[in-house]
């Protein structure tokens, strides 16, 4: 049987990744992806509940689909992702146009459940965590398919932290780790199919463990994380990218997100010193610069511990850059607490940051603390934080003008809407700065690491020209996918 499906994705990389996995199982069951929901037999809304008014947003999306569903009653509307997991069956009662509610651990069942819906079954919710026997859907290329330049590989799911603001432990369950061998095999499949960069994904990606790996370094104390060993295994087993003499498969860069500062151990810093395939950039969420707030957030590190960990990472690799996540207006956050956040931002000199106003989330311990920072104060603090962050990021980017960098080209520049013919492509440096390259024939650069001279700094990106003529490159691979959607935070 064939059917048409459309998936709408909200939220983080994890959701983008789940969308890819859903697309994989739907394709394998005869599904054909369509852009327009009007043409779809199955519409999946892949939801996020980390910050937004998730349910309101979902209600409005379902509302938009309702007239279509009235016109074509056999259209199946499925809700996936964190809101699905969080609300389960109750969504079916509250929004009567929804046919299916499917949790992140039940993605493999999506085609069978959709089929049951077309067969006339009543609406159903499937939201069990696979705690006893964790499943990780694997990626495998279809016949002749080339992989995206940047591939996402899941290493673990769930979260054992209990940060008081965060809904993730509730919507994604306890930590479960994918066997290291499976991770390496998937990295290898992507690289063989043309990927040049791999982004290892996990809610606390650096808490990874697998008894098959060498034990954690005793120097790391009780931490027990074997994530550095996973990085070493990948670096050892996966062939490295070499541009010449041909466009042979090879891994140019390895990144990971998001690490929890608690597991940013001495051996992780050593891995950065030893493995040149690792990118020279780490995204290390801090959330606040005030010890009092960090304690109330249950982050389990202090400001000075965070700073020491950043220092250790920075010492491991010359010019390593750090970005972060920050929440402003956490319950009880005073002006002094916020000033400490600003001073930490200046001290670390983050090259970029994602900042959010605190938003109370269902089921989280911080609900008990109230939400006492007025909205206007949250907005004002957010604006002040961005002001400081913009100055730092401008200083960093302008400092790169006139330097020579190596850029992994991901696809057409965002402004060109996927059109490679206009000679403007974008990619990232080894330290993750976004670089636009304007040159005739630049499409040939997609999937390659190109040496460039940086000519200008924009607000969030750089402009560059290649240092060598593009026609000296080997012929481009024909079917390489364009840039992956960039992380949403």
- Establish if 165 lies at the interface with ligand SAM (CB under 6 A): yes
Residue 21 to residues 25, 37, 242, 479: CA-CA distances in angstroms?
6, 19, 30, 21
- Of the candidates 100, 104, 107, the residue with the CA atom closest to the CA atom of residue 77: 100
Sequence-distant (6+) residues with CB within 8 A of 80 are 18, 22, 44, 45, 46, 47, 102, 103, 104, 107, 110
- Establish if 260 lies at the interface with ligand SAM (CB under 6 A): yes
Interface positions, 401-460, toward ligand SAM (CB under 6 A) = none
Structure-block tokens of residue 433: 């700065």
- By the 10 Å C-beta count (0-12 exposed, 13-18 middle, 19+ buried), 141 is classed as middle
Binding mask 314-353 for ligand SAM (x = CB under 6 A): -----------x-x--------------------------
- Of the candidates 342, 345, 437, 351, the residue with the CA atom closest to the CA atom of residue 394: 351
Residue from 40, 50, 271, 282 that binds ligand SAM (CB under 6 A)?
A: 50
Q: How far is the CB of 326 from ligand SAM (least distance, A)?
A: 6
Q: How far is the CB of 323 from ligand SAM (least distance, A)?
A: 11
The DSSP bridge pattern shows strands 449-457 and 404-412 to be antiparallel
Binding mask 118-157 for ligand SAM (x = CB under 6 A): ----------------------------------------
- Establish if 17 lies at the interface with ligand SAM (CB under 6 A): no
Q: Helix H segments across 45-150?
A: 54-71, 81-87, 90-94, 110-118
- Establish if 253 lies at the interface with ligand SAM (CB under 6 A): no
Residue from 358, 409, 437, 454 that binds ligand SAM (CB under 6 A)?
A: 358
The site for ligand SAM, by CB under 6 A, has a size of 20
Q: Of 235 and 367, which has the nearer Cβ to ligand SAM?
A: 367
- Helix-strand-coil split of the chain, %, nearest 5: 40, 20, 40
CA gap 354, 195 in Å, rounded: 27
Q: How far is the CB of 472 from ligand SAM (least distance, A)?
A: 43
Residue from 127, 203, 323, 405 that binds ligand SAM (CB under 6 A)?
A: 203
CA gap 107, 300 in Å, rounded: 33
Q: Of 118 and 489, which has the nearer Cβ to ligand SAM?
A: 489
Q: Of 125 and 231, which has the nearer Cβ to ligand SAM?
A: 231
- Establish if 306 lies at the interface with ligand SAM (CB under 6 A): no
Q: How far is the CB of 309 from ligand SAM (least distance, A)?
A: 12
- Establish if 371 lies at the interface with ligand SAM (CB under 6 A): no
Residue 429 to residues 119, 151, 152, 406, 449: CA-CA distances in angstroms?
51, 16, 18, 6, 9
Stretch that binds ligand SAM, among 73-81, 159-167, 306-314, 447-455 (CB under 6 A): 159-167
Q: What is the dihedral of CA 191, 158, 12, 153, to 10 degrees?
A: 0
Contact assessment for residue 6 and residue 44, using Cβ atoms and an 8 Å cutoff: yes
- Establish if 258 lies at the interface with ligand SAM (CB under 6 A): yes
**Interface with ligand SAM (CB under 6 A):** 12, 50-51, 163, 165-166, 168, 203-204, 258, 260, 285, 287, 325, 327, 356, 358-359, 361, 489
């Amino acid at each position: 049987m064939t059917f048409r499906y459309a998936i709408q994705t909200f939220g983080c990389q994890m959701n983008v990744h789940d969308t890819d996995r859903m697309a994989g199982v739907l394709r394998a069951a005869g599904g054909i992806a369509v852009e327009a929901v009007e043409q779809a037999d199955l519409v999946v809304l892949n939801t996020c509940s980390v910050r937004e008014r998730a349910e309101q947003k979902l209600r409005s999306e379902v509302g938009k689909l309702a007239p279509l569903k009235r016109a074509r009653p056999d259209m199946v509307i499925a809700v996936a992702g964190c809101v699905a997991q969080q609300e389960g069956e109750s969504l079916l009662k509250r929004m009567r146009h929804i046919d299916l509610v499917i949790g992140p651990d039940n993605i493999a069942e999506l085609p069978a459940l959709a089929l049951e819906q077309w067969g006339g079954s009543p609406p159903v919710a499937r939201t069990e965590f696979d705690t006893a026997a964790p499943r990780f859907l694997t990626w495998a290329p279809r016949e002749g398919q080339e992989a995206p330049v940047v591939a996402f590989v899941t290493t673990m799911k769930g979260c054992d932290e209990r940060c008081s603001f965060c809904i993730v432990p509730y919507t994604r369950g306890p930590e479960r780790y994918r066997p290291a061998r499976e991770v390496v095999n998937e990295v290898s499949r992507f690289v063989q199919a043309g990927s040049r960069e791999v982004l290892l994904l996990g809610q606390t990606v650096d808490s990874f463990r697998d008894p098959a790996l060498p034990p954690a370094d005793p120097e790391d104390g009780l931490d027990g994380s074997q994530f550095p060993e996973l990085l070493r295994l990948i670096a050892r087993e996966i062939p490295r990218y070499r541009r010449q003499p041909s466009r042979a498969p090879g891994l140019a860069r390895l990144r990971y997100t998001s690490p929890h500062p608690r597991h940013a151990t001495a051996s992780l810093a050593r891995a950065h010193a030893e493995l040149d395939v690792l990118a020279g950039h780490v995204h290390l969420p801090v959330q606040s610069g005030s010890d009092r707030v960090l304690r109330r957030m249950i982050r389990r590190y202090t400001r000075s511990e965070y700073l020491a960990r950043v220092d250790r990472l920075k010492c491991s690799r010359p010019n390593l850059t750090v970005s972060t996540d920050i929440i402003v207006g956490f319950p009880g956050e005073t002006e002094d607490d916020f000033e400490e956040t600003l001073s930490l931002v200046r001290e670390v000199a983050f090259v970029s940051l994602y900042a959010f106003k605190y938003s109370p989330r269902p089921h989280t311990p911080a609900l008990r603390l109230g939400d006492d920072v007025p909205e206007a104060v949250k907005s004002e603090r957010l604006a002040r934080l961005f002001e400081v962050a913009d100055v730092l990021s401008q200083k960093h980017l302008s400092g790169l003008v006139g330097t020579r960098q190596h850029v992994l080209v991901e696809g057409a520049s965002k402004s060109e809407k996927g059109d490679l013919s206009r000679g403007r492509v974008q990619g990232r440096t080894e330290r993750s700065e976004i670089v636009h390259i304007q040159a005739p024939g630049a499409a040939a650069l997609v999937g390659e690491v190109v040496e460039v001279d940086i000519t200008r700094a924009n607000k969030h990106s750089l402009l560059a020209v290649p240092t060598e003529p593009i026609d000296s490159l080997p012929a481009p691979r024909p079917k390489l996918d364009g840039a992956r959607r960039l992380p949403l935070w």
